[in-house]
Amino acid sequence: MKTIDELLTEGVEGRRVFVRADLNVPLADGLITDDGRIRAVLPTVKALAGAGAKVIVASHLGRPEGAPDPAFSLLPAAERLGELLGAPVAFAQDTVGPAARGAVDGLEPGQVAVIENLRFNAGETSKDDTERGEFADRLAALADVYVGDGFGAVHRKHASVYDLPKRLPHYAGYLIATEVGVLKKLTEDVSRPYVVALGGSKVSDKLAVIDQLLGKADRILIGGGMAFTFLKAKGYEVGTSLLQEDQIPAVTEYMARAEKQGVELVLPVDVVVAPGFPDLKTKAPTEHTAVAADQMPEGQLGLDIGPKTGELYAAKLADAETVFWNGPMGVFEHPDYAEGTKAVAQALVESNGFTVVGGGDSAAAVRTLGFDENAFGHISTGGGASLEYLEGKTLPGLAALED
């Protein structure tokens, strides 16, 4: 995989460099609520612009249905990128049409343009190789060189991620190089004890990574909505909590395998329950209580790991040399159900080991709850991509850069 440093050595003065970034930021009423992914691509964009490249930044945002949708416009991300760069950023209101061509043609060396959401064109996500290839051809006509730096999208076989680098000289940006380096530390020559904390809502999203980690991790801590399928598999009442009944056989098998392989699979000893789901908009106080994990009342909804579990998980993380955390421990967006996630985050902050926050909701939780990002070894920008890498899958976007 060639890196951006090699490209800079070759020289980029006046060359059109297409940067596939991940600007898929969360929006509320058109405002960015977490700009972490924009800040993550800054080193690559700054280096290229500083070397005199004409930089074309492209990304997806959300899941528009292959057609323009104002709700998913990249304009707010483009404006924020300009603020962070401290320089004007041109914005094209289409992806490969006259606006994009005009924006690119108008660039002077060292300037930056952002083109509109790639997913406004059906060719970006098409499963048809020909349709996807045709869109990649039109993107390729905008540029001379390709730099892949959208780690959050490298597990997708999309036109801008997989097909476009095949059509241009291609290099990995600083973010992708960093992410791959971190993931190698989690899969090759790992410092032990190696502790993994997994949360989030659906156990089905994490089964494949648990399968892989049973042969690598020393301890796996389970939290979030997915914990209730494990607790149900142990025969516990889980009330109205999130439950994937069809996953109970798989979960039961993994618990047995963990015991056989000497992997400590740790489940909540208490949970925070409430009569219903809280209002995340007003964040109004709710009626809630902590109960033992094997004493959940019928009709109650589990929304966080309990305080005893928070202490237990902190203790299990205390001596770790390597930690990977993916998925919040509860509904951290509401203050009544954020304590479990805070406990795990604080344990990582206090750890002397190499700590990785595995993207997605975990990264958002760290920022939302006010933790200093620099207190963690690495905060990933790609939850799904990180998980698939740890599962041992080939990621199309990385494979394309390796050619």
Residues catalogued as catalytic: 37, 202, 360, 384
Confirm if 197 and 317 have CB atoms less than 8 A apart: yes
What residues contact residue 151 under an 8 Å CB cut-off, 6+ apart? 22, 175, 176, 179, 380, 381, 382, 385
Find the distance separating the first CA and the last CA of the chain, reported in whole Å: 7
DSSP type of residue 374: G
Exposure of 401 in the CB half-sphere (CA atoms within 13 A): 26
Name the pairing type of β-strands 301-305 and 270-274.
Answer: antiparallel
d(CA 320, CA 324): 10
CB count, 10 Å around CB of 220? 25
d(CA 284, CA 205): 30
What token pair was written down for 358? 């595995």
Confirm if 36 and 177 have CB atoms less than 8 A apart: no
DSSP one-letter string for 268-314 = -SEEEEESS---TTT------EEEETT-PPTT-EEEEE-HHHHHHHH
Cis peptide before 64 (omega within 30 of 0): no
Confirm if 273 and 228 have CB atoms less than 8 A apart: no
d(CA 152, CA 37): 9
d(CA 88, CA 126): 33
Confirm if 155 and 397 have CB atoms less than 8 A apart: yes
Exposure of 32 in the CB half-sphere (CA atoms within 13 A): 20
Exposure of 20 in the CB half-sphere (CA atoms within 13 A): 34
Three-state DSSP at 94 gives: coil
What residues contact residue 86 under an 8 Å CB cut-off, 6+ apart? none
CB count, 10 Å around CB of 253? 13
